[in-house]
Amino acid sequence: MRSPERRPTVSDIRIYRVSGVCALASIAVFFIEFPFYLGRGAFPSPAESYRLVEFTARNTRNIMSCVLLDLLILGLLSIFLAGFRHLVLRADPRQEWLATGFFGIGLVYVTLTLVADCLQAGTAVDALTFPSDGVAQRAMLESMYLMYGSVALFLMGLFIALGSWMACASRALPAWTGPVGYGCAAACFAFVPSMFIRHPDPNGFYNPAGWGPTAVAAGLPLAVWMVLSGVLMLRLRVPEEGAAGTPAETEERIAIST
């Protein structure tokens, strides 16, 4: 049974609202960013280093714009992760070890993506530095494959699965959100083995550099889970003072009204 002092306060609700807004804002920025990738045109084969230089030089502003938008997305995501952890700990302090793991894995994902973004920006800088080095372009590009693909998806699936489990276990979110989160995590894990499939082909679907793991799976499952969690966090309310009821009803007032 939860003690009355664990009921959300006005300060808690403010944290949840900020976190929910950050979750929705990060996904909104993601959908603004996505057309930039489509506007680059067909990606050349990594084996054609000379074409990589030309492709990168032509899309320098596009690449830098995506890196800038990624900084906004990852900053907002970090605030959401902290707020989600607070939500779970406020609902059930016994989930602290899982909440710490969730937050830590989320920050590792953010760090990994920032490193990949730096490499992507490095290709643009190299393309504008005469004479550009096609070998360096290829090396940085190939370094990004698993950072944006299988490794990122593994980390993403882990923190989505952990977040879904502990939110349901603590009753911080409604029970039906668990299966939705598990489905999103499973979609991420399904693309992790793409690292073993054939050679990298940016224009293919299921391979280390394909648009399946680096675009669809890298964006859609996280977007679904964050929009769902963000909306539900925004719906949290402070329980009325002196509200009567059974312990179970008291717990329900702490959770999100559905």
Q: Which pLDDT belongs to residue 240? A: 59
H/E element holding 139?
A: helix 134-148
The structural domains of the chain, with segments of one domain joined by +, span 7-236+246-251
Long-range contacts of 65-71, Cβ-Cβ distance < 8 Å, separation of 24 or more: 65/33, 65/36, 66/33, 66/36, 66/37, 66/120, 67/117, 67/120, 67/121, 69/29, 69/30, 69/32, 69/33, 69/36, 70/33, 70/113, 70/114, 70/117, 71/114, 71/117
85 has a pLDDT exceeding 90? yes
Percent of the chain with pLDDT over 90: 63
Long-range contacts of 36-40, Cβ-Cβ distance < 8 Å, separation of 24 or more: 36/62, 36/65, 36/66, 36/69, 37/66, 37/215
pTM of the model: 0.86
Cα-only R_g, the chain? 21
| Most distant CA atoms of the chain, gap in Å | 75
The CA dihedral of 156, 72, 86, 174, to the nearest 10 degrees, is -60
The CA dihedral of 144, 149, 153, 155, to the nearest 10 degrees, is -20
**202 pLDDT tier (thresholds 50, 70, 90):** confident
Percent of the chain with pLDDT over 70: 90
Tens of pLDDT, residues 15-40: 999 999 999 999 999 999 999 988 88
Name the phi and psi angles at 197, rounded to 5. -90, 110
Q: Which pLDDT belongs to residue 241? A: 55
